[in-house]
Amino acid sequence: MPYRIAGIDVHKKKLAVVVADVEVEDEYQFERRWYGSNPEQLRVLSEWLIEQQVEEVVMESTAQYWKPVWGALERYWKPMCQSREGAGRMSGILHLAQALSNRGRRGRKRDFRDAERLVKRLVSQELILSFVPDAEQCLWRTLTRTRYRRTRDKYVCRINWRHCWKKPISSCPVWFQISWAPAHVVC
C-alpha cells in the first residue's frame, strides 16, 4: 500500500503542491499542482489531497501566509483522512517546517523544487519542525488574550479619563475632545 506525503510551498497568493509515494525504492515521482490561497481553492486542495490518499502534509512557515492553509487542511482534510478506511496512526498529520531548515542553494527560487525538498527532508528527518497547538488550545489562547486586552483597555481608558478631567480639554486625546466638548461648552 503506498504511503503518500504532500509538500506545500506557501506564498501569499499561490501554493506549489507536490505529492509523492515515499514507499518506493527508486527516486520519488512527484505529482505537481498549483493552487490559489483563497478559501475556495483551499477546499479544492483538501479534496485533491483526499483523492490522492495523502497521509501526511508538510509545509513551510512563510510569514503568516501558512495560517489559512493550515486552518483549511485542519478543517477539511484532516478529519476525512483520519476517518478513512485503513487509516494508520500517522494519517492526517500536519507538519510545519521552519523556513531555514529547508533552505536550497543560492540562486533562483524554484517553488516545486522547494516543495519536493520539503518531502525529501521530512522523510530523512532533516527538517526542524515548529510546534502548532491543536484547534482547541488555539481557541483557549484567543479567548484568554482577548479577555486580557479588554481588561487592559478598560484600565487605560480609566487612566486617560482621570487625566483629561484634570487638564484643559485641548490637551486631551481627540476622541475625548469630540465626545466631551458639548458637555464642557454647556458648563
pLDDT interval class at 45 (50, 70, 90): very high
The answer on 84 and 10 residing in a single domain is yes
* Statement to judge: residues 30 and 62 lie in one domain: yes
The better pLDDT of the pair 164, 57 is held by: 57
Kindly tell me the burial class for residue 65, based on how many C-beta atoms sit within 10 Å of its own C-beta (0-12, 13-18, 19 or more): middle
Q: At 10, which CATH number?
A: 3.30.420.10
Strands (E), the chain: 4-10, 14-21, 30-36, 54-60, 93-97, 129-130
Task: Please indicate, yes or no, whether residues 126 and 140 belong to a single structural domain of this protein.
Answer: no
Same domain, 49 and 123: yes
Question: 100 with 127, same domain?
Answer: yes
Q: Has residue 93 got a pLDDT over 70?
A: yes
Rg (CA), the chain: 25
Cell numbers 484634570 correspond to 166
Residue-wise pLDDT for 135-177, tens only, equals 788 888 888 888 888 888 777 777 766 665 565 656 666 665 5
Say whether both 116 and 140 belong to one domain: no
Task: Report the phi/psi class of residue 63: left, alpha or beta, with left for phi > 0 and alpha for psi in -120 to 50.
Answer: left
Residue pLDDT, tens place only, 107-126:
666 788 888 989 998 999 98
Residue 44, domain extent: 4-132
Q: What is the pLDDT of residue 186?
A: 42
Co-location of 93 and 149 in the same domain: no
Choice among 13-17, 18-22, 126-130 with the minimum mean pLDDT: 126-130
Residue 187: its pLDDT value, please?
A: 41
Co-location of 98 and 170 in the same domain? no
Task: State which of 108, 132, 156 marks the end of a domain.
Answer: 132
pLDDT confidence of residue 76: 92
Q: Which of 22, 107, 6, 108 is nearest to 60 (CA)?
A: 6
Q: Do 108 and 160 sit in the same domain of this protein?
A: no
Same domain assignment for residues 87 and 161: no
Instruction: Say whether both 146 and 76 belong to one domain.
Output: no
The closest alpha carbon to 69, from 19, 7, 144, belongs to 7
Supply the pTM of this predicted model: 0.72
* Domain final residue, candidates 86, 107, 132: 132
The span from the CA of 123 to the CA of 120, in Å, is 5
pLDDT top residue among 51 and 148: 51
**Number of domains the chain is built from:** 2
